[in-house]
Amino acid sequence: MRIDDNEGVSASSKHLVFAYYVTGHGFGHATRVVEVVRHLIAAGHDVHVVIGAPDFVFTSEIQSPRLKIRKVLLDCGAVQADALTVDRLASLEKVSDVVPVACRAAADAGIRSVCVTNFR
């Protein structure tokens, strides 16, 4: 899919299959990913979302056989003392808004990967 400033969204002439790995801390990441997935599916592509959030986050917004969801809790690298306490200072040095293991797996398989993040 290509987005041009003047022309809007144009679909790729080639059908693609995306694996979209989403970090598991809260629903914020999942709800932002819904819009990207919606556009990929509208452009005629298949999207496999790998996520720990409940299916309804996606299925309530996107009803398509091109959407596949696989439940896996993925870590973005937050440093936690226990299940509810995040060490903010230690996390600043380590945390990522993407799932690094997905990029490594893509590189090992010889396929391209793209990271989508909310951080600058």
Place of tokens 């440093």: 79
CATH number of 16-109: 3.40.50
Write out the chain's pLDDT in tens, 120 residues: 343 334 444 555 789 999 998 877 667 788 888 999 999 999 999 999 998 888 999 999 999 999 999 988 776 566 777 767 877 777 666 656 677 778 888 899 998 888 887 665
